[in-house]
Structure 1
Amino acid sequence: MQSNNRTKASQKVTIVGALIDFLLSIIKIILGFIGQSGALIADGVHSFSDLLTDWVTWYAAKLSGDAPDADHPYGHERFETVATLGLSIFLAIVGTIIIFEGFGRFSNPNELRHENWLIAAAALSVLSKEALYWYTVKVARDINSDLLKANAWHHRTDAFSSIVVVIGIIGAANGYFFLDSVAAIIVGILIIYIGWQLGFEATKELVDTSIDQEDIKALRVALSEIKGVNSVHTLRTRKVGHKKSADVHVQVNPFLSVSEGHIISVSVERVAKKCIEELDDVTVHIDPENDEEKEEAPYKDLPERAQALKIISQSLKLENVNYNIEKTQLHYLEGEILVDFFLSADYLKNQELNNIKSELSAALEKLPDFGEVKVYFS
């Protein structure tokens, strides 16, 4: 789903939830005061607190849908992850409060009035919040949003807390005040558990935990089958909001042209995105050899091209080798520099190929960082 449509869907379901939370909170608080039900008043205040989480969800959805910018070149998807973590903490706090309230009700029973109205208000809350849960979780699955999933579970916990209120009211009406407290404690523990699950997943994402291992194995196989890829020796993945990203190092023939290596990297990116759903960003590194198998970086002390060409020029001058070299190509392999010289075919009229190669090789063989020399004529 496109980022713009994803943001609109997320904001729409959040606004609907906020409106219902506002209406429920008004109804429960007013009827709670009339019926002298502290549980229903607390549930109404709980619904008011939901407006805060609805706003956080709406704002995070708006930010995560923004395009990359100078300050966030990789996009804003992790705003959604941070908001999910915040919601998980909020759920844990709400669960703890419900548990303490449950213990408090053991010693503070209330004689209720208008029990039928109180039960009706709590039942309306249960039905409304459960409907919101299913609506929100459907949208969350459609757009693959962990933040909306967290908010959906928040709606469901509200339904659970309203069930506690119904049980408490019925129990109080029949003299069994302890039922309210026991149910509240059980629901509080469940809410904390849900908050922990959501927070654990969000934390895993924030510390760049890799995606599912089965997906990684399938990706390795798919990339290894690409023509021109000799091996896949590094593959790192992570989640970024609802998206996934990968860094992959592939080994190719070391004597390919730069443009051919680039075409292979394009194929790697295309196949990777086709293999894993929601894989949005793929960084491909083309390697001429598997340098990760070596204990130390094989090119650590080798001179770069400009310096290497200067060394070659000085060596040829010292050895009195005066060919007009049209192009010099360097290959950094096995911890040394292999050199290809390109000369005009006119040299072949006066000298043998072996003589030319011998002179050029002799000029470079004393250099510690240089290896095999090849000569080509055009």
Structure 2
Amino acid sequence: MKQSYTKEQRYRVTQKVTLVGSIVNLILAFAQIVGGLLAQSQALIADGFHTLSDLVTDFVVLIAAKMASKDPDDDHPYGHERIETIATVVLGLALSGVAVGIALSAIQRLLNPETLMQPSQLAILLALFGILCKEGLYHYTLRAGEKVNSRLLKANALHHRSDAISSVIVAIGVTASVVFSIPWLDALAAIAVATLIFYMGAKLILDSAMELVDTAWDSDKVEAMQNTIAGITGVQSVHMLRTRKMSNNVLVDVHIQVAPHISVSEGHHIAETVMTEIHQEYDEVSDIVVHIDPEDDETAAPSKDLADRTSILSQITTAFASVDLTFLPSDVTLHYLDGKIEIEINLDQKPSSEQVSNITKSCDKITDVRSIRISHTQ
């Protein structure tokens, strides 16, 4: 089982990783843009501005991680993790926007050949330096994201990987342009970079949007969870198991069927056992609501329109008064099952057979009553 981290611990890890990434990106962006101008490489300059945009997204990650680490409050009883999801959408939009800008600039140069640049060998060295930096940041960030199970860090790691891939394309395009003295190869490399960046951005947006509309957890994990719950003592069946993702967390709602005549406290104990087992088995589950059913409410007749306890007790009182017997409300147990009511009455004194017969006949006339059972402690 993976180690669990508190929100504060996750934020500190995110803060450290993001600050390291910001420093590396600042140095790399300066080297790529200035070096690209000196080496006459549009692809390298485009990659430099792409790296510069990473600084903005790094700050978005920091702010989102800080806000998402807050504890639940009255306005946000489920916590603030959705902020990470929104921040991931922002990362995707930033990537997509940068991609469109790079592509338009490169296409404009292709349409105007006189504006094309002829890169020098310095551009090749800078492109290789970019690959080294970005791939290093990818592995560093991904390890941290997996360690604390942060979807935001994993998304940022994917961002770094897209940067590394774009730098590979830049290196190929620049090298080909230098070796064969074909300026438009550099521009084509810039367009290829833009295409990959746009794809990464669109994927982040789509994945986060699916989370915002409460997409279910992975089907194999949901099935495994259902089997875990079904194996708990006291659980007769499991139905209406629903899950939804919220950033790194999973919220669960489930109906479990228990024996219909057990006490409320025993049913509650079974529910507590289910919650404990699921929290121990799945670190991602942050909240689980267990609904106790005495029957499968997907197939049984509904009981919501049956008479309530006050009405039933009033009618029972009349029946008991007719045979000169009394009872306490606590002596009566009602079972609402399959659209009918079963009544159990436990008296302190032993009634006569005639009294029992008369009470039973009177109670049988009560609407929707299936059966009545009278017992005594004496």
Length-normalised TM-score, structure 1:
0.89
User: Are the aligned partners of 1:24 and 1:44 in contact in 2 as well (CA < 8 Å)?
Assistant: yes
Q: Is the 8 A contact 2:116 2:187 kept in 1?
A: no
Q: Is the alpha carbon distance of 1:236 and 1:80 closer, same or farther for their aligned partners in structure 2, counting shifts above 3 Å?
A: same
**1:372 equivalent in structure 2:** 371
Measure, in 1, the Cα distance between the counterparts of 2:51 and 2:192. Answer: 19
Query: Could you tell me which residue of structure 2 aligns to residue 57 of structure 1?
Result: 61
How many residue pairs were aligned? Answer: 368
Equivalent residue, structure 2, for 1:223: 229
Q: What does residue range 131-280 of structure 1 map to in structure 2 within 5 Å?
A: 131-173=136-178, 174-280=180-286
Change (3 A) 1:111 1:209: closer
Q: Which stretch shows the higher mean deviation, 37-46 or 356-365? A: 37-46
- Structure 2 equivalent of residue 127 of structure 1: 132
Q: CA deviation at 1:35?
A: 4.4
Structure 1 residue 72: Cα displacement: 0.9
How far apart in 2 are the matches of 1:311 and 1:181? 88
Matched residue type, 1:363: S
Q: Deviations over 1:154-190 (max 9, x none)?
A: 2222233334444454444442112222222223222
**Partner residue, 1:340:** 344
Unaligned runs of 5+ in 1: none
Shift of 1:56: 0.9
1:110·1:172 contact (CA, 8 Å) conserved in 2? no
- 2:286 is the alignment partner of 1:288: no
For the pair 1:84 / 2:83, whether they are aligned, the reply is no
Between 1:202-211 and 1:156-165, the stretch displaced more is: 156-165
| 2:116/2:184 contact within 8 Å kept | no
Task: Find the counterpart in structure 1 of residue 325 from structure 2.
Answer: 323
Matched, 1:101 2:100: no
Across the aligned residues of Structure 1 and Structure 2, the Cα RMSD in angstroms comes to 2.3
Q: Distance in 1 between matches of 2:196 and 2:50?
A: 16
Aligned partner (choices 313, 317, 323) of residue 313 of structure 1: 317
Alpha carbons of structure 1 residues 185 and 368: separation in structure 2 relative to 1, 3 Å: same
User: How does the TM-score come out when normalised to structure 2?
Assistant: 0.89
The aligned residue for residue 13 of structure 2 is 9
What is the deviation of 1:124? 2.3
Regions of 4+ moved over 6 Å: none
Quote the Cα distance in structure 2 between the aligned partners of 1:210 and 1:111.
50
Q: Distance in 2 between matches of 1:158 and 1:223?
A: 43
CA distance in 2, matches of 1:299, 1:324: 28
The percentage of aligned residue pairs carrying the same residue is 40
- Following superposition, the deviation at residue 119 of structure 1 comes to 3.6
In 2 relative to 1, CA 118–181 (structure 1 residues): closer, same or farther, beyond 3 Å? closer
Q: Deviations over 1:222-254 (max 9, x none)?
A: 222222111112211121211112111111111
